[in-house]
A and B are shown apart, each in its own frame.
Chain A
Amino acid sequence: MAQTDRRDAPGLPDFSLLKRLARDQLIYLLEQLPGKKDLFIDADLMSPLDRIANVTTLKQHEVDKLYKVELKPVVSVSDQLCFLIRPRIQTVKWIADVVKSDKAVGRFRRYKIIFTPQKFYACETVLEEQGVYGDVTSDEWEFYLLPLDDDIISLELPEFFRDNFLEGDQRWVTTAGSALRLLHFLFGPFSKVYGIGRCAKMVYESWREQVEDGEKKAQNPDIGNVFLIDRDVDFVTPLCSQVVYEGLVDDIFRIKCGSVEFGPDVTSTDKSLKVMLNSQDKVHVGETQRKKEIWWEKQRKKKRCGMDIKQMKAFVAEELKGLKQEHRLLSLHIGACESIMKKKTKQDFQELLKTEHSLLEGFEIRECITYIEEHINRQVSMIESLRLLCLLSLTENGESYGIEHLLSFANLRQIGLLVEQQPGETLTVMESKVGKLVNDKTAGKLTDAFSSLAKKSNFRALSKRLMLIPKTGEEYDLRVPRDMAYIFSGAYIPLSCKLIEQVLERDGWTGFEEVTRMLNGHEFAVTGPEDSKYPQRIILVMFLGGCTFSEISALRFLGRERGCKFIVLTTAITNSSRLLESLLDNQG
């Protein structure tokens, strides 16, 4: 959430224009199929669509019934079916099946596929191979950018990370380039572009080509500089437990397109409620957010286990009583805090954070390993155990004594499945989960993934060179945070954000050769005109492969410090769970 600014800070451009453009184009496309139609929407598109054109709007344009795309026969009786989908072969195959089953029973309908943000040739091939190419019309809905907040824009492409970095498939490079092109067209032209990472370079080149072919326009630019960064330049940051509020909420409740659904245990009613988590949410303006963070920090630091809910309720009611009119939202957030604390206490959050911080620092590694072993054995949460293993692997540069043995520990738990523990004992839910997690292919994939991640990782050296771990001399006062480490309770400055800070300061990569070598190169900087008309203090940062709320908070802090504004453009909001799920879903 954007916070109070320095008075001389530049203003942000208005990104609501992006929503209007997307909406208008969608309506136009829907009108290309005149008459009543049923609309099938890809599950991933439901939340973004909701932010662009709600059900009422759709119905105003002759959409009759709305269905979620599910890979099973359709029950719709409409004569016209419209499919709004991401260009996935699996989905297109299903649509082809729908058309073919209609044909088989002699049913005639009109079918329209709207691919978004673009269609892929492989999808067309499927239609052709299935003999339905001539039966459907297809269009592209160029919906590239969804503003999630004043300073956050998302491509809503979580698959970007897996496709690009794990599968090595460059299908979304042009898409990212097109997103940049759109922003450039509406809010540019950009002055300088910096970047690091193989994908960043490709996206830059794609964008450059697209811009060269496009219209030239002189305009008053709203965005000055651009920074492109690959997710795999910094894997460590997204794997850390988040302690900034949105990060916590995302970790526990999964924020979707800037809003989160709080269940009955939070709302204290029997209903769930969707809450927008952005600047429009008045509870989080200015001091409130900071106070909450500080309070949270205080609680976390308390040595004793368990946190006092009564105290928190009192604090929040006391300190934030000025916002009485926001009471309803307030109580929702209190409910969320309660829920978070319950879950975190169960997992002994303090111990966990302590271990993480030690890993980041490279301190007391043996204790960390013991903790991780314990964690695996207690079977509290396999994803958490996995996350810690990854963190260990990356920070210790893949020292095999850590990883192989811990993985084998996970294996050993699974082996309990091979042998009867005691007569009559059945598999617990956890054991089946573990079994699924560490089956044949996954174990192999995990070891491979770890070793390839670790091979590229020079975290320890980078951390020293960039001073990512603040000195633990004086107590870190969160009330007066002095650097970006405050978003991780003073323990660690996110590598990605530090890089951005440094490159902007130096206006390039000169003098940073040592660092770029440790990051496996692919850095670039394209200087532009030093014209004063270019707002040098508005910087667009594009994360290719995802960005966390912690990084967003860090950049907001940096912006406040330097009197500039960062706009975060990301292929998707991510966190450790989503990252790991990509890793695990990546079946050989």
Chain B
Amino acid sequence: MKESKRAVSSILVDDDDDDDDDDDDDVEKVSWSGEPVGTFSEASTRVYAPELRKPKSECKDYFSDWSPEETVKRMRKGKVYSLERFRSLQDKLLLLDEAVSAHDGNVITAVLIYLKKSLSKEIFFQELMVREIALRHYVHYLKEMEEQKTLVELMKLPFSQDDAIHVQDHYTLLERQIIIEATDKKGEAEIFKKFPRKASILNMPIITTLYYSCFYHYGESEGTFSSPANIRSTFRISEKQYILTALGARAKLKSWFDVDSLFNTKNWLGYTKKRSPIGFHRVVDILQKNNAPVQVLKDYVSLIDDAELKLSLAQKYKCHDIVIEMYRDLKDRQQLIVYQGKVERGSHEDRKIDQLLGNMQIRWKN
């Protein structure tokens, strides 16, 4: 019995398990041509299977009675089934939809494998695009089978507006990176000699690319592909994200002037003032990590809104003038005295504190 089972295994999927309640044990296994296979003798065939003498087209094969619903049911239970009878596109799609509604990933994938073999790629992909669950199963299957090529083709298709933009972005970025890479690889400019690149820009994420651009191509006009301004507008990078990234890059290069310009805006009167979409305490933090000198740090510490935070950071980074001024504003004599102990004797700060302490007009609170 096992040998005969194997003989038809290429056509039917067999189930070797013993199903106690399997009523198919009595089903005669037939080969594709309709000839009986197995241990039945010729005589018994004629007696027990009269339908085999009928013309092939009228042959009521047991399998052809199985609807998509029936087939999926059988597949879920590991029983014998056949998918080959689903030949029209309509039948195939009914089968797929039935599998999906049964929630059984094993069956869904099996049906997809069959469809992949019996449909052209275009039609198959077309149908997948409007069936999200089936699509996910197919993607997972391709990943496991390591069929990257097919995956890439699938991924190129526009599934939704969002996806289309996403994919478009990805390719645009890659294009840009290729152009930038081609020039920068030669490393002719001064900056490349001072700060040699460790890796190529290809396939790096957007923000990394922006950072790279802020590092190596700062100040270039928006017209060039490699300029930060161009990358910012092409990929619709938010102001916050841009400033954060540019800050990191310019601070690393110790270009304090550039850092300064990042925060300049003109108010309605035409006066320049400083503002930042990220808190100035964070700016200070980044600058400090890049070893910015106190002169630079203090400018930004002084811009911190939150008084407590400002005071603590000023103390941390030894921005004496700011600390002194704040204690003066708080009219906190005691603290000022304490702080005097922390500054260098005879220094400018020391004298400043002396001056303040001696000022009769200040109404100290303690």
Interface residues of A (CB under 8 A from B): 88-90, 118, 120-122, 124-126, 128, 133-134, 137-140, 163, 167-174, 202, 205-206, 209, 213, 373, 377, 401, 404-405, 408, 411-412, 414-415, 417-420, 438-440, 443-444
Contacts and interface: CB of A to CB of B under 8 A. Distances in A.
B71 interface: no
Interface in B13-49: 13, 16-17, 21
B364 interface: no
B199 interface: yes
Interface of B: 6, 9-10, 13, 16-17, 21, 75-78, 103-110, 113, 133, 136-137, 139-141, 143-145, 195-199, 201, 203-205, 207-208, 211-212, 215, 240-241, 244-245, 248, 252, 278, 285, 289
A202 B119 CA distance: 29
Nearest to B253: A419
B211 A411 contact: yes
Best-buried of A88, A118, A377, A408 by chain B (most CB within 10 Å):
A408
B15 to A, nearest CB: 10
Contacts, number: 130
Given A89-B145, A172-B105, A418 B16 contact: no
A171 B139 CA distance: 13
B113 A202 contact: no
B205 A419 contact: no
A88 B144 contact: yes
A419 B109 contact: no
A377 B282 CA distance: 13
Which secondary structure characterizes the binding site on chain B? helix
Contacts of A125: 110, 113
Given A173-B105, A412-B248, A167 B140 contact: yes
A411 B106 contact: no
The CB with the most chain A CB atoms within 10 A, among B105, B136, B137, B145, is that of B105
A124 B205 contact: no
Given A89-B145, A420-B195, A139 B105 contact: no
Contacts of A412: 211, 245, 248
Contact of B141 (A122, A140, A170): A122
Given A134-B9, A168-B140, A205 B103 contact: yes
A10 B198 CA distance: 66
Contacts of B278: 405
A89 B109 CA distance: 12
Contacts of A138: 16
B17 A171 contact: no
A419 B106 contact: no
Contact of B241 (A167, A168, A405): A405
B140 A163 contact: yes
Given A173-B105, A415-B212, A121 B199 contact: no
Contacts of B196: 420
A134 B143 CA distance: 26
B195 A408 contact: no
A356 B291 CA distance: 31
A419 B103 contact: no
A549 to B, nearest CB: 29
